[in-house]
Structure 1
Amino acid sequence: MPTGSTGSTARGGPAVPGRLMAAEMAEQPAVLRRLLTEGAPRIQEVARHIAARRPRFVQLTARGTSDNAALYAKYLLEILVGKPCGLTSMSVTTAYGAAQDLTDCLVITVSQSGGSPDLVASTTAAREAGAITLAVTNNADSPLAGAAEFHIDVLAGPERALPATKTYTAELLALYLFAEGLRGVDGAAAAAGLPELAERVLARQDEVRQLAARYRFAERMVLTSRGFGYPTAKEAALKLMETSYIPALSYSGADLLHGPLAMVDNVFPVIAIVTDGRGGRALQPVLDRLKDRGADLVVVGPSAQVASASAGFALPTDGVPEELQPILEIMPLQLLAYEVTLARGQDPDAPRALAKVTETR
């Protein structure tokens, strides 16, 4: 369990830095269990109603951490369900006021708080334009939940830390269960082992603390992956930037080869998320190029890949479907952001210039 989860200091003293983020990371196994036992039947019901309306196209709408969950949903819906998907440009509605014909389209809006005005406005406009609208939030009483025709509650409980952790993994699992439900599959069965695996990952915080020592003085870093792991690279980069303030660039492995690889040298830290499956195999040529350039390569993924890198964190992915591995992949990287931030003398609970609900318009 994360060391900061023990609470505050002596009575009347200041809170332990990172206490909230640590506690919420530690809650993730329980949140996943709750979603599988209490949330899955409702998600199946919503998926069944939407599938009956046979949407022809899916738009995904989100910001920040939830945008990375939406990108994960794009992979799920395109690969497992066979539905073409796109990511919404909200300024089309909120800034330009453009009208769209969204008849027979499914618009899924993902938001931890469900309170951002641009998400509510975009969802409202989509519904008026003929779309089937679904909100995925951690707040059933939020304006967004009220604006959409359907709602899925990710059941993560109150999240007080500014960096989202448990709501992100809950969004991933909820979106997986929904995608499987669209094609008439009970996804809860395949995901049943995730809570125990999550406990095993989070219990290895000492390993992550040792990795964090590599990045205490990092001036920049790159995170890369392909396929289902790509949203993990983007979310990990966001967590590192918002907590430790290290500029962290995230690239698809394919995009990394198209130019950005030139900035990598033998002192440049690169974190590669290697899913155990087709995405990981597609990333292999990128890993080979990074090694040829002498990059300080850290791998999060299968033990064989970790053994061939400079360092890494081996994930217990044996028997876990590739599409579920991102729920485990992000956890050591959440811990890494937490530990790097503490090592740099900063408080991950209080990132500068950030608020829990970002009210973009």
Structure 2
Amino acid sequence: MTDNRGALMAAEIAEQPQMLERVLSSQQGVLAPVVQRLRDYNPHTVLLVARGTSDHAALYAKYLIETRLGLPAGLVSTSAYTVYDESPHLQGVVWIAVSQSGGSPDLAQSTRAARQSGALTISLTNTESSAVQDAAEIALRLDAGEERSVAATKTYTASLLWLWLLVETWAGGDTSAADPVPRWAAESLDLPTVPEVASRYRFVDKLVTTSRGFAYPTARESALKLMETCYLSAHAFSGADLMHGPLAMIDEDRPVIAIVPEGRGGAALEPVLTSLRERGADVCVVGPSAVQGNSPISITLPSGMPEQLAPIAQIIPLQQLARLMALSRGYDPDHPRGLRKVTETH
């Protein structure tokens, strides 16, 4: 009998360059009226609501909104709207709901409540019709294609690209900066050191992921992928937060995966890497060769990627790492135990 474990995840990881190319083509003409509506609304705040993998895409958008638009942005506590049945005053607020399936009741209910409370609501989903989409005033589709593996891969990178395009168009910037993204994604597939790192960490039962700035959501998402496919204890920390206490648990028995971009985020992470190495930590640096320093363990990403766009390619070898580690442990990353493709929370 053929062993097809992980085949869906492998195929969907491999689809990402072509999918990203499709997103760049399909967004033309879609975002202009949305951005005009945003400008007419003239918000003072942006709130983002999401769960799981989409929550990390929302965190990425928070960084974009605050740095490109100069607007305060926050991640929503949906329980305020569902469990506690409150209705905050949301006039002048843009509410963005990010959900691959659009099927989670708490996201739909809170988006509906936000719209009733005066927010301009936008949904970003991968479905033609969903409860979240129906709850929002404006609906955007990821156009990532059907995703069948429980472990989300291509819908995550599609979400990142759509959110970047939305914010950059809103800021009046040049979206052609994203034209090389499909190429960077293709160059991040099948990197030769990923199987080596997977073999090195095959028997690890706990590890830490870390980064700063725009790459921090990558650390969060890679930890989630490792937890849900490999069933290990993976903790994600901002490099700054790691120094405020959790550093004490780091030693040679707890590997650290550090996502180090070119740019300010990578520079801000350097003191953290120095501290980790001084503690004898087993540090795997994920980033372009120029930022790897003397690290003996690394996954080399394409160079020259702008820090804001780099997360779209950064996550791809870490998706591969999670898949390979799961397979080496005898697990099926397409069907993690106890999980379904659509998770309904209330």
TM band (smaller chain): over 0.9
> Contact conserved, 1:106 with 1:133, CA < 8 A, in 2?
yes
Using the TM superposition, give the Cα deviation of residue 44 of structure 1 relative to its aligned residue in structure 2, in angstroms.
3.4
Partner of 1:352: 337
Is residue 2:53 matched to residue 1:68?
A: no
Matches within 5 A, 1:1-361: 13=1, 16-187=4-175, 189-204=176-191, 206-318=192-304, 320-361=305-346
> Contact conserved, 1:298 with 1:306, CA < 8 A, in 2?
no
Deviation digits for residues 267-294 of structure 1 (CA, Å, limit 9, x no counterpart): 2200000111000001110000001001
Please tell me the residue identity of whatever aligns with 2:277: K
> Contact conserved, 2:252 with 2:280, CA < 8 A, in 1?
yes
Using the TM superposition, give the Cα deviation of residue 208 of structure 1 relative to its aligned residue in structure 2, in angstroms.
0.8
Using the TM superposition, give the Cα deviation of residue 14 of structure 1 relative to its aligned residue in structure 2, in angstroms.
5.1
Normalising by structure 2, what TM-score? 0.98
Backbone CA RMSD of aligned residues: 1.1
Within 2, Cα distance between the matches of 1:212 and 1:49? 47
Within 2, Cα distance between the matches of 1:313 and 1:22? 18
Q: Secondary structure at the match of 1:52?
A: helix
> Contact conserved, 2:289 with 2:303, CA < 8 A, in 1?
no
Indicate the percent of aligned positions where both proteins have the same amino acid: 52
Normalising by structure 1, what TM-score? 0.94
Q: Secondary structure at the match of 1:97?
A: coil
Going from structure 1 to structure 2, the CA distance change for 1:283 and 1:40 (only over 3 Å counts) comes to farther
Within 1, Cα distance between the matches of 2:290 and 2:121? 43
Within 1, Cα distance between the matches of 2:131 and 2:205? 40
Deviation digits for residues 256-315 of structure 1 (CA, Å, limit 9, x no counterpart): 000000011122200000111000001110000001001000000120333421311111
Deviation digits for residues 302-355 of structure 1 (CA, Å, limit 9, x no counterpart): 20333421311111131x211000001100100000010011111101100001
Within 1, Cα distance between the matches of 2:211 and 2:186? 24
Please tell me the residue identity of whatever aligns with 1:271: I
Deviation digits for residues 116-165 of structure 1 (CA, Å, limit 9, x no counterpart): 10000000000000000000111131121111001111100110000000
Count how many residue pairs are aligned between Structure 1 and Structure 2. Answer: 346
Within 2, Cα distance between the matches of 1:141 and 1:322? 33
Deviation digits for residues 210-250 of structure 1 (CA, Å, limit 9, x no counterpart): 11011100010000000001000000000000000111000
Within 1, Cα distance between the matches of 2:154 and 2:38? 26
> Contact conserved, 1:44 with 1:178, CA < 8 A, in 2?
no
Gaps of 5+ in 1: 1-12
Residue range with higher mean Cα deviation, 121-130 or 134-143: 134-143
> Contact conserved, 2:266 with 2:291, CA < 8 A, in 1?
no
> Contact conserved, 1:218 with 1:246, CA < 8 A, in 2?
yes
Deviation digits for residues 43-93 of structure 1 (CA, Å, limit 9, x no counterpart): 233122212211110000000000000000000000111110111000001
Within 1, Cα distance between the matches of 2:90 and 2:75? 14
> Contact conserved, 1:57 with 1:85, CA < 8 A, in 2?
yes
> Contact conserved, 2:230 with 2:325, CA < 8 A, in 1?
yes
Deviation digits for residues 153-192 of structure 1 (CA, Å, limit 9, x no counterpart): 11001100000000000000000000011112242x0000
Runs of 4+ in structure 1 over 3 Å off: none
Gaps of 5+ in 2: none
Please tell me the residue identity of whatever aligns with 1:304: A
Using the TM superposition, give the Cα deviation of residue 203 of structure 1 relative to its aligned residue in structure 2, in angstroms.
3.3
Please tell me the residue identity of whatever aligns with 1:322: E
> Contact conserved, 1:296 with 1:310, CA < 8 A, in 2?
no
